[in-house]
Amino acid sequence: MKRILPLLTTILFNLCYAQNDSTKIVNLISYLSKGETLNYSVLKTRIDSNVNKEPITKEEAFNFKITVKDSTDSNYIISYYRALDVFATPQLSNLEENLQQKLIELSTIKFDYETNELGAFKRIIDEDELTEKISSDFEGLLNILSAETNDEKTIEFMKEFIGSIDPKSLITVYAQDIHALHYALGASLNLRDTIEFEEEIFAPILNAPITMIGIVYCDEYDQENDFISIIQEKRVEGDFMEKMLDFVKKHKNTEESINEEEFKNTPTNIYFHNTYQYNSVYGVATYIELFKEITVEGKNENLKRIDIYEISLVEE
């Protein structure tokens, strides 16, 4: 479909470096057809380590897909689909087959979202209705278990499981996939420079905004093979530890004491290194890696947690 693509409507990143062509502009624009489906696999890796113990690594894998419901000169409407792995725990994997099937049907997540005509993310459609549906589906899961099993431990586990999940937070988790896929779409990339930025993100658990500073640049551009790789690096800035202290004081036991000065002065660092790779002709994400490293330097031990979230396009 032909589109009107005035460069003035695109977002200038001024990011990339290209050999022998310092003035070349790459317009990273999504070209998808109505009915087109893209399948992605996800690998989540968490590594916990400190100076006194061997690192502990945990992995989780799942798939999701997106399907273009509509494509116009002004927007895309895209469906996101993922089946939750509700059988990751022994309590649920031992249920009867017909009950497992009902759980799968009710735990499937599907919603629509909108981008602009260039592929830049705009919004999740009917988010309030989606929140209500997730709450209703969770109640349905619990009702099915209560009606069809006498296993009190399983029912109690499910009650705790449902009670620990906030539907809006769950939507935010799924939206991570969408934001990652569409991160640089709609941008005009000047293949030379690195751009600095500052952003404010909201941390739900702290119920407070956090300031981050970073840079964005192009790691590689291969015009012949329709490939571009964009790197985003950022770290937490400002009074993050003071906000952490406020959170700990609010939720600590009354008998616990906190050395506030020592807490605020504990060296803590949160670093992000995110890689976004696209087919530069069709504006389709082919590989995303979201890397987060948290380090805390205590008196007796140094703690480090690394989270790696990899999204890979599954070729048909």
- In this structure, are 200 and 299 located in the same domain? yes
Is 110 a domain residue? yes
Is a pLDDT exceeding 90 seen at residue 232?
Answer: yes
- Confidence (pLDDT) at 199: 85
Where is the domain boundary, 148, 181, 214? 181
Whether 235 and 212 have beta carbons less than 8 Å apart is answered as yes
Distance CA 236, CA 267 (A): 12
Tell me, yes or no, whether 133 lies in a domain: yes
At 314 the pLDDT is 96
pLDDT at 7: 30
66 part of a folded domain: no
Statement to judge: residues 171 and 205 lie in one domain: no
Confidence (pLDDT) at 54: 83
> Mean of the per-residue pLDDT values for the chain?
78
40 lies in some domain: yes
Same domain, 192 and 309: yes
312 and 171 both lie in a single domain: no
User: 154 and 121, same structural domain?
Assistant: yes
Together in a domain, 244 and 284:
yes
Biggest alpha carbon distance in the chain? Answer: 71
> Is a pLDDT exceeding 60 seen at residue 242?
yes
- Residue 29 and residue 95 in one domain: no
The Cα–Cα gap between 239 and 283 comes to: 38
User: Is 137 in the same domain as 243?
Assistant: no
pLDDT for residue 203: 60
Among 12-16, 125-129, 135-139, 212-216, which stretch is predicted with the lowest mean pLDDT?
A: 12-16
State whether 46 and 124 are in the same domain. no
67 inside domain? no
Same structural domain, 85 and 165 = yes
Would you say residue 3 lies in a domain?
Answer: no
Higher pLDDT, 263 or 93: 93
- Is residue 22 domain-shared with residue 145, that is, in the same domain? no
The 8-class DSSP code of residue 190 comes to: E
Which range of 113-127, 170-184, 186-200 scores highest in mean pLDDT? It is 113-127
Find, among 119, 111, 231, 215, the residue nearest to 172 by Cα.
111
- Find the helix or strand (DSSP H, E) in which 103 lies: helix 97-107
Which of 181, 209, 232 delimits the end of a domain?
181
Range of the domain at 151: 72-181
Residue 1 placed within a domain: no
Task: Specify the number of domains making up the chain.
Answer: 2
- The predicted model scores a pTM of 0.76
Same domain, yes or no: 266 and 192: yes
Among residues 181, 197, 228, the one where a domain terminates is 181
What are the C-alpha distances in Å from 3 to residues 67, 103, 238, 253, 285?
Answer: 20, 43, 43, 60, 20
Q: Is residue 93 part of a domain?
A: yes
Matching residue, tokens 């022998």: 20
- C-alpha–C-alpha distance, residues 270 and 293, integer Å: 6
210 has a pLDDT exceeding 50: yes
